[in-house]
Structure 1
Amino acid sequence: MTDPVPPSVRERRLARELREARVGAQLTGDRAARELGWSASKVSRIETGRIGVNAADLDRLLALYAVPERHAEFLRRLAPAARARGWWDAYAESLSPGYAGLLRLEAGSRALRTYCAVVPHALLMTPHYIRRVITATWQVPPPAEVERRVRVCLRRQAVLGDGRTGADAALAFTAVLDEAVLRRALGPADDPIAEPARVEQLRHLMTVSRWPAVSLRVLPFSAGIPPVSAGSFSLLESRATGAPDVVYLENKTRISFVDGEKEVDRYVRDVGMLLSMALSEDDSVGFLDEIASGRR
């Protein structure tokens, strides 16, 4: 049995807003539960973010608390962004709480901006590159587990849409790719598959860069030292608020989330500086092509 997924920053915000609305209406949790015909524990779990709240229940809470319509509309937008449901629920028994939470956050986001320092972001990887990342460890998973992780990662990439998906229907994705990402070999020189797989990945990046919702920028070595020395990070922007609200740091063993307002703001500034240092979109595609063709 998997551990319960901890509430995300968005779930905690919705929970806090509903708790404050109840207190503002001068109702106790027990009184609110009686008025709605619920158990007191249901109100408590909603207010602690342990469970989500569906649209019908949310409307009942908003009516009971007499929440002004403008704020009520904001909370209605926040609710689906807080606890999005989707294909990953079918993998609930095999996903870690952190990874499941990440998938929900991405699905509930309007935009993602990322800095890739070592490898491409998971949303940009080819199947072969994903397998190489999974197996680049002293404890290689069994083949069936490797393929399960590949399938999950490829399903995750659906948030970007494809070349035919309109920009407004997909996650707005901006990536700054360090030149080291583009030049890193996928295996030793005598591995006959490593170099073709690297070139395939570069060509895939060039293809994805033409998708309406995707912007790829290369940070060349010549740009100097980036403002971030601790590695890759990703910044998510909420659909409900239209503002960045959570940063995640993803590696093989765990996913860390940063949601303090001041800390998130530092990453927002870092992204801005990285974009100012990176090549333009057109120059980045040319850079990718030159590396893939062996001309650079």
Structure 2
Amino acid sequence: MPPISIPTLRQRRLGTELRKLRQRAGLSSTEAAAGLGVNQARISMIEAGKYPVSADRVRAMARSYTCQDTDLVDALSSMTGGRTRGWWDEYREFLPPGLMDIAELEHHAAELRVALSIHIPALLQTTDHARALLREAVPPFRPYEIEHWLSHRIKRQVVLHRDDPVRYSAILHEAALRMQYGGRSTARAQLDALVELSERDNISIRIVPFTWASYPGNGQSIDYASGPVPQLDTVQLDTHHGCAFLDSQAHLDKYRTVLDRMEAGSLKPAESRDFIHRIAQDL
């Protein structure tokens, strides 16, 4: 199989996890290659996500690395093969690579947990709300660029509405509900949409009011995607320079704890729905 020129987030993550297994076994890449009957360069390419690897190869590597976590090995084996084209691939020449990675991450996630302070989550935004946000980009987008970003953002929302919708939990600060992006009518339509979405079985929306004494996480935007096993969870953070993806155990533990604390310090879903509805009525 030919090398992969630009590996996807999923391919890079598979390579990262295989490297972790090798390192836990105390093996150098040269020793691992000798045990598997391949050259050291092949191991390095696999660990960089730049060489396709089969499910059988992953299982052979796990045996060589004395990994006895069958659930993890099964999960890693399911991530093998070449690039699987998703709807997001049609945007690769128009949008930053990080947006492709986000769409792929959401597509494969078992559960999504998000927390935001002054924005509505992308997967819950109406078209008009999203367009209003994109018009505020710095540097400004050209009209056709706005439409590319907007189309991609709306298509990402399919994970909430497909036949096997992802479980989705959002924790929003009241500030996000009060911002009137696009004007009062757009803001009210967005809040009405949140109320409607919160009634779906797979979606939970919880609000942290201004009146509450604490807000764990200090207002940082957090996207937490659960994998098939906890070791394959991923945290995605927005920065001024693009998307950051974190997968170390320390980071996963930290952000899982932050989200748990934020959830504990928020209104229950039914109370949050009523809270959103009252703000919408005031607009």
TM-score per shorter chain, which class?
0.7 to 0.9
Q: TM-score, normalised by structure 1?
A: 0.79
Instruction: Please name the residue that 1:265 is paired with.
Output: 253
Query: Could you tell me whether the CA contact under 8 Å between 2:6 and 2:50 is conserved in 1?
Result: no
Alignment of 1:49-68 (within 5 A): 49-53=49-53, 57-60=54-57, 62-63=59-60
1:185 and 2:177 correspond: no
Following the alignment from structure 2 to structure 1, what is the Cα–Cα distance between the partners of residues 107 and 225? 10
Following the alignment from structure 1 to structure 2, what is the Cα–Cα distance between the partners of residues 133 and 271? 25
C-alpha offsets along residues 185-222 of structure 1, whole Å, 9 cap, x if unaligned?
215xxxxxx11100111011111111221110011111
- In the TM superposition, residue 87 of structure 1 has moved relative to its aligned partner by 1.4
1:229 and 2:218 correspond: yes
Amino acid at match of 2:124: L
Amino acid at match of 1:143: P
Following the alignment from structure 1 to structure 2, what is the Cα–Cα distance between the partners of residues 208 and 281? 11
Query: Could you tell me whether the CA contact under 8 Å between 1:112 and 1:173 is conserved in 2?
Result: yes
Instruction: Please name the residue that 1:12 is paired with.
Output: 16
3-state DSSP class of the match of 1:223? coil
Specify whether residues 120 and 40 from structure 1 end up closer, same or farther in structure 2 by C-alpha distance, changes over 3 A only: same
Match among 146, 163, 166 for residue 171 of structure 1: 166
Query: Could you tell me whether the CA contact under 8 Å between 1:14 and 1:75 is conserved in 2?
Result: no
Following the alignment from structure 2 to structure 1, what is the Cα–Cα distance between the partners of residues 179 and 244? 25
Query: Could you tell me whether the CA contact under 8 Å between 2:112 and 2:225 is conserved in 1?
Result: yes
Flag structure 2 segments of 5+ consecutive residues without an equivalent. Answer: none
1:275 and 2:263 correspond: yes
Instruction: Please name the residue that 2:273 is paired with.
Output: 285
Query: Could you tell me whether the CA contact under 8 Å between 2:59 and 2:77 is conserved in 1?
Result: no
Following the alignment from structure 2 to structure 1, what is the Cα–Cα distance between the partners of residues 225 and 80? 12
- In the TM superposition, residue 69 of structure 1 has moved relative to its aligned partner by 10
Following the alignment from structure 1 to structure 2, what is the Cα–Cα distance between the partners of residues 30 and 243? 27
Query: Could you tell me whether the CA contact under 8 Å between 2:232 and 2:247 is conserved in 1?
Result: no
Instruction: Please name the residue that 2:126 is paired with.
Output: 126
Specify whether residues 32 and 70 from structure 1 end up closer, same or farther in structure 2 by C-alpha distance, changes over 3 A only: closer
Specify whether residues 99 and 15 from structure 1 end up closer, same or farther in structure 2 by C-alpha distance, changes over 3 A only: farther
Amino acid at match of 1:287: F
3-state DSSP class of the match of 2:110? strand
Instruction: Please name the residue that 2:157 is paired with.
Output: 157
Amino acid at match of 1:201: Q
Amino acid at match of 1:12: T
3-state DSSP class of the match of 2:206? strand
Specify whether residues 244 and 212 from structure 1 end up closer, same or farther in structure 2 by C-alpha distance, changes over 3 A only: farther
3-state DSSP class of the match of 1:293? helix
- In the TM superposition, residue 79 of structure 1 has moved relative to its aligned partner by 4.1
Alignment of 1:47-86 (within 5 A): 47-53=47-53, 57-60=54-57, 62-63=59-60, 71=69, 74-81=72-79, 85=84, 86=86
Query: Could you tell me whether the CA contact under 8 Å between 1:120 and 1:177 is conserved in 2?
Result: yes
Query: Could you tell me whether the CA contact under 8 Å between 2:62 and 2:73 is conserved in 1?
Result: no
- In the TM superposition, residue 9 of structure 1 has moved relative to its aligned partner by 4.2
Following the alignment from structure 1 to structure 2, what is the Cα–Cα distance between the partners of residues 31 and 292? 64
1:207 and 2:207 correspond: no
Moved over 6 A (4+): 18-21, 67-70
- In the TM superposition, residue 274 of structure 1 has moved relative to its aligned partner by 0.9
- In the TM superposition, residue 20 of structure 1 has moved relative to its aligned partner by 7.3
C-alpha offsets along residues 106-147 of structure 1, whole Å, 9 cap, x if unaligned?
222211111111101111111111111111134321111111
Supply the RMSD in Å over aligned alpha carbons.
3.2
3-state DSSP class of the match of 2:235? strand
Query: Could you tell me whether the CA contact under 8 Å between 2:114 and 2:171 is conserved in 1?
Result: yes
Amino acid at match of 2:260: G
Following the alignment from structure 1 to structure 2, what is the Cα–Cα distance between the partners of residues 160 and 94? 24
Specify whether residues 102 and 88 from structure 1 end up closer, same or farther in structure 2 by C-alpha distance, changes over 3 A only: same
Specify whether residues 16 and 176 from structure 1 end up closer, same or farther in structure 2 by C-alpha distance, changes over 3 A only: same
Q: TM-score, normalised by structure 2?
A: 0.82
Instruction: Please name the residue that 1:105 is paired with.
Output: 105
